[in-house]
Amino acid sequence: MECVRLIANPQHLKYEDDDDINEDKSNIKSKKISLADYLNDNYKDIYLSEHNIKSINKMINYHIKEINNLRIINSVLDNVIEKVIENSDKFDFCLPFD
């Protein structure tokens, strides 16, 4: 309920000046952590060799490339479909009650 009150009363929101925003960004950049450190911190009970970490890194990179490829493919297909619909007489239609 407090969140609703803050939205209803914007004067209660903290004003963020540029110095605070820049400080937050620099804190995020300084907190960069390697994949090995991340895995070792979050999976302390499991020993991960260098080979395991490289394998996980390859899987992550492959997955990110697949996501990027799918986004590009979807974008191209959407554009092609739009162009076909715009330039074709077969897809002309009138909405009733216009």
Nearest to 67 by CA among 56, 77, 57, 59: 59
Helix then strand count (H, E) for the chain reads 4, 0
In a domain, 97, yes or no: no
The answer to whether the pTM exceeds 0.75 is: no
In a domain, 65, yes or no: yes
* Tens digits of residue pLDDT in 42-88: 999 999 999 999 999 999 999 999 999 999 999 999 999 888 877 77
In a domain, 94, yes or no: no
User: Hunting for tokens 């395991």 — which residue is that?
Assistant: 52
Q: How many domains does the chain have?
A: 1
Question: Residue 80 and residue 89: Cα distance in Å, rounded?
Answer: 15
Domain that includes residue 47, residue range: 4-8+10-87
What percentage of residues in the chain have a pLDDT greater than 70? 59
